[in-house]
Amino acid sequence: MSSRGVDPSIRPESAADRLTRNWNELLQELRVAQTGVQILTAFLLTLPFTSRFGELTDTQKNVFLAVLSCSVAATALLIAPVALHRALFRRGQRPWLVGAAHVCAAIGLGALVLTVSGAMWLVFDVVAGRTAAWWAIGGSLVVFTGLWVVLPAVNRLRH
């Protein structure tokens, strides 16, 4: 590895090749996130139709609605690159598409963090009480921030 973190054994690539590689890598990453967020959203959409949903407090129902909204937003954002690709297919928009898809993926992952952390709060609040719920959401946010923000930032600083 060179001091800039680039492997010198890798052949140089053209701008078009780099865009294609970036697009393919992004699609591979999105496949992982899309499946999980779609399953989570589907599950959340069924909860109001369960018998115990009526027992939730107003606060818990409001948190549920916020979690559901974040989950739907994450679903839309993480699937958006596919829809954008279909709309712009063979129109020479690959540079814009890769950039827009990157932004959608980053914001979609942020919405996913809020969804999962909010769901943690809701489950802990129902099962173990409000104090445990705040610890659960705090722990969840610390784990996501550590793995998704701090770890890559440390790597960028080192390389």
Residue 6: the pLDDT is 60
* CA 57, 58, 60, 61 torsion-angle sign: positive
6 lies in some domain: no
Residue 129: the pLDDT is 97
Q: Look up the CATH number of the domain holding residue 112.
A: 1.20.140
4 lies in some domain: no
Q: Token pair for residue 145?
A: 């921030």
10 lies in some domain: no
d(CA 89, CA 76): 19
d(CA 11, CA 136): 46
**Ranges of the chain with pLDDT below 70:** 1-9
Q: Residues 33, 143, 121, CA angle at the centre, nearest 5°?
A: 85
pTM of the model: 0.85
Residue 148: the pLDDT is 95
Residue 20: the pLDDT is 87
Residue 47: the pLDDT is 95
Residue 9: the pLDDT is 63
69 lies in some domain: yes
Residue 62: the pLDDT is 98
Residue 8 identity (one-letter amino acid): P
d(CA 63, CA 69): 10
83 lies in some domain: yes
1 lies in some domain: no
5 lies in some domain: no
> Domain total for the chain?
1
Q: Residues 43, 59, 37, CA angle at the centre, nearest 5°?
A: 25
Q: Check if the beta carbon of residue 1 is closer than 8 Å to that of residue 7.
A: yes
Domain that holds residue 74: 15-158
